[in-house]
Structure 1
Amino acid sequence: MSSRQSGNPEPCPVARSVELIGDRWSLLIVRDAFDGMRRFGDFQRSLGVARNILSDRLRKLVEAGILETQAAAEGSAYQAYVLTPRGQSLFPLVLALRQWGETHLFAPGEAHSQLLDRRTGQPVPIMRVLDAQGAELLPEQSEVRKLERTDE
């Protein structure tokens, strides 16, 4: 029996994150929110997802505090979906997925979208993981250490 099924929270931060935002539609909704989309119809046109699936994912993202709803415009019956600070903190994750895809999933010269720094107009540099001294940290230089519960 998994820890989810037994009622125990998953002890792995990666597993908890994937449980919340790891499905295709949730991540693409977050991506589109970073691109400025705010309305249900805009998300649906961009993603081509069924209304019931989109509605479910938006509800879950709102419940998780990743998106919040706001009135779309004065007197409008529409809701806008806006990234919260918690949602905005997903930017490095979306950027990492984008850059990995650009590097590994496109043939040389194949057309794809590109993320630019609005201030300079230049492509966003490739992300790197740095250690406390600012040097690049490689996977083999890290380890997972289980932490014991401290709130007893």
Structure 2
Amino acid sequence: MQTDPVADVLEIVGDRWALRVVRDVALGLRRFDDLHRSTGAPRTVLADRLRRLTDAGILSPRSYRVPGARTRSEYALTTAGVDLLPVLAALSDWGERHRPGGGEPEIVYRHIGCGGRVTATLQCECGRTTAPGDRLVAQVNR
């Protein structure tokens, strides 16, 4: 039986809010109220996305308690969540090339090792790196 990885991934992160939550957790926002302010997602939608991302293994919740308040959760990226950062970098890269808004982007993706800006590239199984203008083809794997 064959699967469709793109469709499978879009079931988890393919709505308006999910990747924004992943991006904001990567930026250091961990708590519900901070994520609510940052994303602007309705509270019920944000709660649902946090649950779905946790169930999918993209976020990991950790309990915390402020004195005098109930126990709450804060979130961190799992390995699977960190593995989504190149996808976000690629989407950002595409957006800068094809949806120019003028000026520098608010968020950029950088290499931790040297601090340089990251751009999206693909590598063929033959070892060659593709450029944004290179032609790719999608085909059914039979």
Q: Assess same fold via TM > 0.5.
A: yes
3-state SS of 2:122 partner = coil
Equivalent position amino acid for 2:89 in 1: L
Q: Distance in 2 between matches of 1:69 and 1:11?
A: 29
Asked if the contact 1:129/1:136 (under 8 Å) is kept, the reply is yes
Identify the match of residue 96 of structure 1 among 79, 90, 98: 90
Note closer, same or farther for the CA distance 1:111–1:18 as it changes in structure 2 (3 Å cut): same
Measured on the aligned residues, the alpha-carbon RMSD in Å equals: 2.5
Q: CA deviation at 1:139?
A: 4.1
Q: Distance in 2 between matches of 1:10 and 1:52?
A: 35
3-state SS of 2:17 partner = helix
> With structure 2 as the length reference, what TM-score do the two structures score?
0.81
> With structure 1 as the length reference, what TM-score do the two structures score?
0.76
Query: Which protein has the larger Cα radius of gyration, Structure 1 or Structure 2?
Result: 1
Asked if the contact 1:66/1:84 (under 8 Å) is kept, the reply is yes
- State the Cα deviation string for residues 79-110 of structure 1 (Å, max 9, x = none): 11111112221122111111111221124x52
Asked if the contact 1:10/1:16 (under 8 Å) is kept, the reply is no
3-state SS of 1:68 partner = strand
Q: CA deviation at 1:141?
A: 5.7
Residue 29 of structure 2 corresponds to 37
- Structure with the bigger RCO (C-alpha within 8 Å, sep 6+) is 2
Q: Distance in 2 between matches of 1:134 and 1:64?
A: 31
Asked if the contact 1:128/1:136 (under 8 Å) is kept, the reply is yes
Note closer, same or farther for the CA distance 1:106–1:140 as it changes in structure 2 (3 Å cut): closer
Hey, which of these two has a bigger chunk of strand by percent? 2
Note closer, same or farther for the CA distance 1:89–1:116 as it changes in structure 2 (3 Å cut): closer
- State the Cα deviation string for residues 54-97 of structure 1 (Å, max 9, x = none): 11111111111111111246877231111111222112211111
Note closer, same or farther for the CA distance 1:104–1:141 as it changes in structure 2 (3 Å cut): closer
Q: Distance in 2 between matches of 1:118 and 1:140?
A: 29
Q: Distance in 2 between matches of 1:140 and 1:112?
A: 27
Gaps of at least 5 residues in structure 1 are 1-8, 147-152
Residue 124 of structure 2 corresponds to 131
Equivalent position amino acid for 1:27 in 2: L
Deviates most, 22-31 or 81-90: 81-90
Deviates most, 20-29 or 132-141: 132-141
Residue 73 of structure 2 corresponds to 79
